[in-house]
């Protein structure tokens, strides 16, 4: 119980820290791009090794592939609508990315914490934290540039953090009896949304800010996430 609460606080707290960084912090754009690309590399590994690949062992391949594609389609559609309404430079896309892939991802995290050892918990929480922090920073920064109230921006990201915390706790307390196949499809949906967010939000932003160093940063993030996975 205590371990679950600690992990939820750390992972969701990364959204608050990232939002504060984006609103009030000042870092050179190349460094911001480097950090975003590093997180993207880590999240790429997390999506495949912690969401999609384990799920394929529990559900038929065609169902797993369908839900991966569904997650990508739903995220892409929502991202398009958010940008259409808020404008392409207001950070709504990253907020949509974190919310859409974060809810099923945190449900899966909550379930994974049941009976998990400290190293496995560290690997799961670490990969999500690495992605949430710079994504929240980038989204909050773009919103601040649009002239929106800093207080309202932070409140929006705080509400998102609360929502994702509830999802993780719900997964831990209420989904222990859910069939593994159903949980695996939730994970596949989350994985598809993650992949789509990387392609449309994370890597384009990183390249824009940090140019070709983004490729190196992505590789570093990938190696870090693989290391965390090996610890588990």
Model confidence over 214-227: pLDDT tens digits? 999 999 989 987 88
The string of pLDDT tens digits covering residues 185-204 is 888 887 888 888 888 878 88
In a domain, 76, yes or no: yes
Report how far apart, in Å, the C-alpha atoms of 25 and of each of 21, 87, 128 are.
4, 23, 21
Is 21 part of any domain? no
Mean pLDDT of the chain: 79
Q: Cα separation of 180 and 55, whole Å?
A: 9
Flag whether 20 is in a domain. Answer: no
19 within domain boundaries: no
Stretch (H or E) spanning 5: helix 2-24
Is residue 212 domain-resident?
yes
| 78 C-beta neighbours (distance < 10 Å), count | 18
In angstroms, the CA 2 to CA 33 distance is: 35
- The residue range of the domain holding 140 is 2-14+28-231
pLDDT digits (tens, 9 = 90+) for 69-118: 998 998 888 777 766 665 544 556 666 666 766 677 677 667 766 655 66
- Asked if residue 199 belongs to a domain, the reply is yes
Residue 40 in this model has a pLDDT that exceeds 70: yes
Higher pLDDT, residue 107 or 161: 161
How would you class 141 by CB atoms within 10 Å of its CB: exposed for 0-12, middle for 13-18, buried for 19 or more? buried
The reply to whether 23 falls in a domain is no
Per-residue pLDDT band for 18 (boundaries 50, 70, 90) equals confident
Backbone angles phi, psi at 60, to 5 degrees: -55, 145
Q: Which residues of 154-192 are buried (b: 16+ CB within 10 A; e: fewer)?
A: bebbeebbebbbbbbbebbeebeeeeeeebbbbbbbbbb
Q: Is 206 inside a domain boundary?
A: yes
Q: What is the pTM of this model?
A: 0.75
Structural domains counted in the chain? 1
Mean pLDDT of 13-21: 86
Q: Are 225 and 86 in contact (CB under 8 A)?
A: no
């Amino acid at each position: 119980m205590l371990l679950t609460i600690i992990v939820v606080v750390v992972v969701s707290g990364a959204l608050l820290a990232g939002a504060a960084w984006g609103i009030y912090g000042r870092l050179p754009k190349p460094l911001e791009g480097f950090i975003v690309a590093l997180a993207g590399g880590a999240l790429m590994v997390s999506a495949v090794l912690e969401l999609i690949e384990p799920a394929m062992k529990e559900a038929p391949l065609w169902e797993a592939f369908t839900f991966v594609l569904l997650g990508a389609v739903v995220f892409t559609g929502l991202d398009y609508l958010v940008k259409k309404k808020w404008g392409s430079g207001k950070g709504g896309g990253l907020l949509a990315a974190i919310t859409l892939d974060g809810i099923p991802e945190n449900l899966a995290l909550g379930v994974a914490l049941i009976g998990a050892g400290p190293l496995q918990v560290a690997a799961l929480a670490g990969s999500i934290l690495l992605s949430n922090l710079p994504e929240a920073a980038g989204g909050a920064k773009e919103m601040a540039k649009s002239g929106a109230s800093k207080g309202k921006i932070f409140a929006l990201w705080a509400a998102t953090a609360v929502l994702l915390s509830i999802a993780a706790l719900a997964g831990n307390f209420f989904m222990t009896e859910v069939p593994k196949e159903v949980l695996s499809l939730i994970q596949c949906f989350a994985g598809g949304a993650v992949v789509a967010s990387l392609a449309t939000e994370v890597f384009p932003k990183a390249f824009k800010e940090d140019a070709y160093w983004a490729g190196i940063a992505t590789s570093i993030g990938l190696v870090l996430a693989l290391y965390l996975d090996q610890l588990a």
